[in-house]
Chains A and B, each alone.
Chain A
Amino acid sequence: MMTTSKIALQEKRRLNKLILPLQQGPDLQLGQFLKTVEDCCPQTAFAVKIRLNEMADGELKDMEFFFTTLPNPTFDSEAYKTSVVGLFIRHMLLAYNKLSFSQVYKLYKSLQHYYHVYDAKPVDGQMGVPTFVADDSDMDLTSTEVTIGDKMERELDSPLYASVELNQISRGPLSQKQAEYFLAKQAYLLKNDDNKALRPAKLQEELNNMLKFNPDFAEAHYLNYLNSMRVQDIYISTHSLLHYFDRLILSGSEGKSNGDEGYGRSLRYAALNLASLHCRFGHYQLADLALQEAIRIAQESNDHVCLQHCLSWLYTLEQMKGSDSSVLTEDSVKMAAHFCLPYLASLGIQSLVQQGAVQGKSAHELMDALKDTDILHWKHSLSELIEISLAQTISIWRMYGKSTMAQQQAQLLLNMSSLEPVNFGVTQNNTEAFAVALCHLAELHAEQGLYGGTTEIFKHLKEQFPPHTQHAKLWMLCDLKIQFEKHMNDGKYHLAQPLVPAIRAQNKTEGLYRKAQVLKSLSRTTEAYRILQKLQVHCEKTRCTETIIRVLLSTAELHWESSDFSTGLPLLLQALTLSRKHHLQALASRTLLHLAFTQLMLGVPEQALSVLHEALEPILAHGGIMDKGRALMLAARCQMALVATRHSLTVAIHTLDEAASYFSTLNCKERLRDVRYLQARLHSSLGQTAQRNRCAMLFHLLDRELQTPRAPTDMRL
C-alpha cells in the first residue's frame, strides 16, 4: 500500500525471496519468524510485531478489523490475484469467511496464545519508530502465520526446534504440517545418518504422542516401523508395518491412484515389505512365504514392476539362504532391463558380479560388468548404487590381492561427494558401502603394520555405525580379526584365544579357522587337524574358495610340525591351482612361499629359490608386511643353503636386515630373534666378529625378553 515506497529495493527483494519458503515451510514460532523477517527488513518485522501486538492485546474486533482491511487481491495491483501472495490471501479470506462465530473466537484465542508464548520470553524488542502502518508485504507475511495458525493451535515448541529448549509444559499436539516436517526430517536422518536422528526411545515417544492425537496419521506408523527396526524389535516393527498398510489401504482407495488399482497396489507392497522385514530378522522361511504371497497377488494383477521387486528379493533371499541364485538373478536383470527399471537391473548385475567373483569368473568380465553398470548409474544419478559399485570394486581388488588398487578405490569412495542433495546438513555416509570400504581400509592399514591408522578408522566406524545398527557387525568382525592377527604375530596366544568365541559369534567359518590357528600355535595338533578337516569339508560345500586355500595352507603347516614335509606338497599344489584359478594373487604368492619352504626343507634350495623368485615380486609389491618379511627371510635362508660364496652370504645378510626391519615394524619379536640368530651365524661364517657379537647380543636380549624357548628355526616359515 502506501508505505511500500519506504522499503528499499534490496529489502523488498529479500522479502520477496522469503515469501515462498515461509508459505511452504513448516510453522515457525513467532520469535523465529520475526527474526527471519528482521534479517531481511527490520522495518517490516517491527511493523508485524506492532500489528500482532495490537491484535493480541486488543479485542476480537481488532482481528476482524485486520481481515476487513486486507487488500482485496482481485483489484489490488500489489498482490495480483494469481500471484503467490494474492492466491494465498484469497485462500485465507475464503477460509476465514467460512468460519462460524465460535471458530473465529477460537482462532483469535490461538492467535493470542501464539503471541503471548513469544511475549512471555521477549527477544529484546528493538525500539524503533512506531509509525508504520503495516504495508502490503508485511501483511501477507503476517497472514501466513494467521492462517496456518487457524488450522492449529501453535502453543508448542515443536520437537523440531524444541530439542534445545525443553519447555515441557507447553508440549502438545503438532500441526499437520509440523508433523509432516518432523516425520520427513527424521526419516531422512534415519536413512542417511541415524546418529543425528532422535534416539530410538525418544523418537518412539514422539511418535506415540503424535499418534495419540491423530491416529489416522499413517506415515507415523511407518516411521515407527523404521525406528523399531533400528533397535531390532521385531514385535513393534511388525505391528507398525501392518498398521501402516492397513491405514494406507484406505487412503490409497480414496487417493489419486485410480480406485481399486491403487489399493491393490498397496496390498502387494504390504506383503513385500513384510517379506523384507522377516528377511531382515533372518526368518527365511517366513520371508519366503510372504514373498510367495506378494508374487502371487502381483501376478494376479499383472503388476510387473512389483513382480520385479519381488524377484530381486527372491534372489536376495536365496543368496542369504546360501543357495545358488545366479539363474534367478540373471532373469531378474533381463526383466528389469525390459521394464526399464535401471535400479533393479544394476542391483541385479552387482549381485551377479559378487557371485561371479566368488565363483572365480575372470577379472575382466567382472570389471567390464561393473563399468557398464557404472555408466548406467551416472546416467540415472543412482548415487547409492555408485557407492555399492565402488565398494564392490574395492572388495574385488582386495580379493585378488592388489592392495594398492583397493586402497585407491577406497579413497575414491570416501572422498566422493554424494550426488544427493544435502538436507538438514547431513550427507549420506552410513551405507553399507561406506562400512565395507572403511573396513577394508582398516585391514589394509593393519597389514602394513600401521596400527595407529587402524585405531583411528575404528574410532570413526564406531561413531558412524554404533553397535546397535545394522552394519555394525561388519566392523566388529573386522576389528576382531585384526586384533587376533596382531596377537598371533606378537605370539600372545593367550590373548588371541578369547577372541575366538567372539569371532565365531559373528561368523562361524571364520571362527573355526581362527580356532584351528590358535590350537596349532599351542601345539595341540590333533585337535587343530580335526577342525581343519571339518572346515575343509564345510567350505567345499559352500564353495568358499578363499577359506579352502587358507585351510589347505594351515594343514600343510601342521604337517611341517611333525617334520612331514612331503605330505604337505599335494595340499600346497592343490591350493596353488585353486588360487591361480580364482586369480587370488595374494594367496597364490603365499602358497608359493610355502612351496619354496617345503622344497628348502626337502633339500632342494635351488628349486626353492626359483619358486621363491616367482612369488617375491608380487609379495613385495602388494603383500602385507608380514608376508614381505617372511619371504625375505626365506630368500636369505635359501641363499645360505646354496653354495656359500662370500658375496652371496653378504647379500643374505642384507636381505635379512630388510626382513628384520619389517618384523620390527610389526613388533614381531619371535621372528626378529630368528633373524638375529641367522645373521649372527652368517657373520660368524664370514668372520666378522664384531657384527656377530652385536647380533648375538640382540638375539640374547630378545631371547631373555621372550622367555619362551626358541622353536627350531628350520621348522617354520
Chain B
Amino acid sequence: MSKEIVTFTFLEFGDLVQIKKQLISVISLCKERGLVHSVKWASELAFALDPLPKDELPPSHLVSEEDVQDLDAFALAKSYFDLKEYDRAAYFLRGCHSKKAYFLYMYSRYLSGEKKKDDETVDSLGPLEKGQVRNEALRELRVELSKKHRAGELDGFTLYLYGVVLRKLDLLKEAVEVFVEATHTLPLHWGSWLELCNLVTNIEMLKSLSLPSCWIKDFFMAHIYTELQMIPGALQKYQSLIEAGFSKSTYIISQIAVAYHNIRDIDQALALFNELREQDPYRIENMDTFSNLLYVKSMKPELSYLAHNLVEIDKYRVETCCVIGNYYSLRSQHEKAALYFQRALKLNPRCLGAWTLMGHEYMEMKNTSAAIQAYRHAIEVNKRDYRAWYGLGQTYEILKMPFYCLYYYRKAHQLRPNDSRMLVALGECYEKLSQQVEAKKCYWRAFSVGDVEKMALLKLAKLQEQLTETDEAAQSYIIYIQEIFSCGEQLEHVEVSTALRYLGQYYFKNKLYDEASLCAQRCCDYNDAREEGKALLRQISQVRDQTETPSGELFVSLSDNNTPIKRVSPLNLSSFTP
C-alpha cells in the first residue's frame, strides 16, 4: 500500500484532481489505523477541493493475503480501540501479521500506556512524585520497534509511531531521523510532518534535513515558518497554496490568521477570523487566538459574543476557557480570569498560552511572585515563548530591578529580533541604568524595525533633549510628528504637543522664526500647550519687530551648513492635521 502511495506522490501542484485522490486514499488509510487528527487534517483539505466525479474515485485498496487472514481480529480490535479499550484491542491483535494490524497493535499499546499515565497523575502518591509518572510501555515499544526498524520492516505509519515513542523518551535526535524517514516512506501522513515541526528548533536544523519533495512539503514549510516566527515566509507560502487552489481550506485561513496575529497585523487577522467563523461556525480551534485579538482591540461585545457562543458549543475545552479568561480580563475581573486560565491548564497542563496569560493576570493583580511562577512554567513548556520572557522582564521592572530584567528582555529580543516592544523595553531599562548610549541605540533600532506603539522616537527625542543634543532631538521630534500624522489613525497621544513645543523653542533659538511660529500656532491646538504656544508667538513677534532681518538668508546659510534639520517637516503636514 505504501508503495502505491509513493508512486503517486511526486506530482506537480497543478494537478488538483490527483491531490484530491491522494487525500482520499490517505484518509481511509489513517482512518483504519485510528489516526484521527491526520484524518481530520486531510479531510479538511479534501473538503476544500472540488468533488470528484464517480468514476474518478480511487479504488479501494488492494487487500493482501495477510489482511484477509486478520480481517476479523482487526475489525474486533478496531471496535475496541474506538471505544478506548486499548489493552483489549492489543490483546486480540497480538497474533496478527499484517502491517495494518501490527500498527494498530503497537498503537493500542502506546495509547494504553499514555492513558494509564494520565490516570496515574490523578492519584499519584503525593506531590513529590509530580512529573515522575511515566508511560511504562514506552521502553518495551522502543525495543521492539527498533528491532524491526533495523530489519527494515517498518512502514510509514509504524515509523511514525516509532518516532513518537523516541520523542517521548527524549531521544530527540533519533526521533528526528525516524520522522524524516517516515515522511519519505509516507509523505501524505500529516502527523509525521507535524511531529517534525515540533522537533525542529531553528532554521539551520531545518535546512539540514533532507525532506521528500511533495506538495505536502509546502504545507510543512509554511507551518514551520510560522513556528519559527518567520512570518513573511510563511505568509508567502500560504498565499501560493491558496493560489494553487486551496482557497476554501479553513486550515489555511486559520493558519494565515494566526500568522498575522503573530506579526501584530491585527486588522488582517481579525478579518480572516471573522471569515473563518462564517465558514465554520462551530470551530473551537484557534479561537483563543481570535479572542486575544479581540482583547487587544478592546472589542468587548464581540468577545462576549464569542465567549457565549463557545460555551454553548463545548465549555470544557482549553480554548473556551482561554476565551472566557480573556473576556473577564477585559472586564478587569482578574481573579475570575485567572481562575479560567487555571481551568484551562487543568484541562491541558502543556497549554502554553494559558500559562502566559495567567502570568499577565497575576501581574494585573499585582501578585508578582505568582506571575513569575506562571511565566516560568510557560518557558518550561516552550523556551521560545517570547511573551513569557517579556512578561518576566516586565515583572522585574515593576519590582524596580532594571538591571535584572535586562536579561529577560534580551532573551525576548533574541527570539523576536524585529519586535519593537522588546527594544523599547530594553531602551527604557538602559535609560534607568543611565546607559544613555545603549538606550539611544535601542530606541533607534526600535524605530527602524517599525515601531508598533510609536513611542520609541519620542523617548529617543526626550533622551537626546536630556543629553542636550539639541539638533538630534529636533530631528527625532520631526520624524515623530511625521510618523504620527502619516499613520492617519487617532492614537491616544498627547505627546505631539510636547514635540511641537520643543520644536518651537528650537527653531526660535536657531532664529528660524517662520517655522517657530508655525509650531507655536500648532501648539495652540492642544490644551496643555496652548499657553506656551501663545507665549512663544508673542516672543517671536517681539523679536521680529526688533530685528527686521529677512530670515531667508538665514535659511540659506543654514542649509549650506548641512544641518540635519529636514525643513519640510511640520509645514507640509497641514493636510493631515486632525
Task: Give chain A's interface residues, CB within 8 Å of chain B.
Answer: 99-100, 102-103, 106-107, 150-153, 172-173, 175-176, 212-216, 238, 242-243, 246-247, 249-250, 252-253, 263, 267, 270-271, 274, 286, 289-290, 292-293, 296-297, 300
Contact = CB atoms under 8 A, between A and B. Distances in A.
B404 interface: yes
Contact of A150 (B123, B125, B131): B125
B369 A289 contact: no
18 contacts: A103-B124, A106-B120, A172-B134, A214-B128, A216-B130, A242-B404, A246-B372, A247-B376, A250-B373, A252-B369, A253-B369, A263-B369, A270-B404, A271-B401, A289-B433, A289-B435, A296-B400, A297-B400
B129 interface: yes
B170 A212 contact: yes
Contacts of A263: 369
B380 A238 contact: no
Interface in B96-119: none
A360 B376 CA distance: 53
Chain A CB count within 10 A is highest, among B123, B125, B126, B435, for: B125
A214 B131 contact: yes
A103 B123 contact: yes
Contacts of B132: 153, 172-173, 213-214
Contacts of A297: 399-401
Contacts of A99: 125
Given A247-B373, A263-B369, A271-B401, 5 more contacts: A103-B123, A214-B132, A246-B372, A250-B370, A274-B403
Contacts of B403: 271, 274, 286, 289-290, 292-293
A151 B376 contact: no
B200 to A, nearest CB: 21
A246 B123 CA distance: 29
B325 interface: no
A106 B125 CA distance: 8
Contact of B399 (A106, A252, A267): A267
B404 A293 contact: yes
Chain A CB count within 10 A is highest, among B128, B130, B369, for: B369
Contacts of A213: 131-132
B170 A151 contact: no
Given A212-B170, A267-B399, A290 B126 contact: no
A151 B128 contact: yes
Interface in B492-542: none
A31 to B, nearest CB: 23
A151 B125 contact: yes
Contacts of A247: 373, 376
Given A102-B123, A249-B369, A290 B131 contact: no
Nearest to A247: B376
Given A173-B132, A216-B130, A242 B407 contact: yes
Contacts of A153: 132
B570 interface: no
B404 A271 contact: yes
Contacts of B373: 246-247, 250
Q: How large is the interface on B (under 10, 10 to 19, 20 to 34, 35 or more residues)?
A: 20 to 34
A176 B128 contact: yes
B402 interface: yes
Interface in B540-563: none
A99 B128 CA distance: 15
B392 interface: yes
A243 B404 CA distance: 12
Interface of B: 120, 123-126, 128-132, 134, 170, 368-370, 372-373, 376, 380, 392, 399-404, 407-408, 433, 435
B380 A290 contact: no
Given A107-B125, A214-B132, A238 B376 contact: no
A246 B400 contact: no
A151 B433 contact: no
Contact of B376 (A103, A243, A286, A289): A243
B519 to A, nearest CB: 38
A173 B403 CA distance: 37
Contacts of B392: 246
A274 B401 CA distance: 12
A151 B129 contact: yes
A175 B128 CA distance: 8
A274 B403 CA distance: 10
Contact of A250 (B125, B369, B400, B404): B369
A290 B123 contact: no
A288 to B, nearest CB: 10
Contact of A151 (B126, B380, B402, B408): B126
A290 B404 contact: yes
A270 B407 CA distance: 13
A172 B135 CA distance: 13
Contacts of B124: 103
Contacts of A292: 403
B376 A246 contact: yes
B403 to A, nearest CB: 4
Nearest to A293: B403
User: Which 6 A-B pairs rank lowest in CB-CB distance, beginning with the nearest?
Assistant: A173-B132, A293-B403, A253-B369, A176-B128, A250-B373, A289-B403
A238 B404 CA distance: 11
A296 B404 CA distance: 13
A496 B372 CA distance: 57
Nearest to B392: A246
A296 B125 CA distance: 45
A495 to B, nearest CB: 47
Contacts of B134: 172
B389 to A, nearest CB: 11
A167 to B, nearest CB: 15
A642 to B, nearest CB: 71
B401 A267 contact: yes
A162 to B, nearest CB: 18
A293 B401 contact: yes
B119 to A, nearest CB: 8
Contacts of B402: 293
A286 B401 CA distance: 14
Nearest to B122: A102
A215 B124 CA distance: 17
A214 B126 CA distance: 13
Contacts of B370: 250
A238 B407 contact: yes
A151 B129 CA distance: 7
Contacts of A252: 369
Contacts of B408: 242
Given A250-B370, A271-B401, A293-B403, A214 B125 contact: no
Contacts of B401: 267, 271, 293, 297
B372 A215 contact: no
Contacts of A214: 128, 130-132
Contacts of B372: 246, 249-250
Contacts of B130: 214, 216
A212 B128 CA distance: 13
A100 B122 CA distance: 11
A242 to B, nearest CB: 6
A100 B119 CA distance: 13
A296 B401 CA distance: 9
Nearest to B370: A250
A300 B400 CA distance: 10
Contact of A152 (B128, B404, B407, B435): B128
Nearest to A107: B125
B191 to A, nearest CB: 25
A152 B376 contact: no
B113 to A, nearest CB: 15
A172 B170 CA distance: 13
Nearest to B404: A271
Nearest to A110: B125
Chain B CB count within 10 A is highest, among A150, A175, A216, A247, for: A216
B435 to A, nearest CB: 8
A151 B127 CA distance: 9
Contacts of A300: 400
A252 B372 CA distance: 13
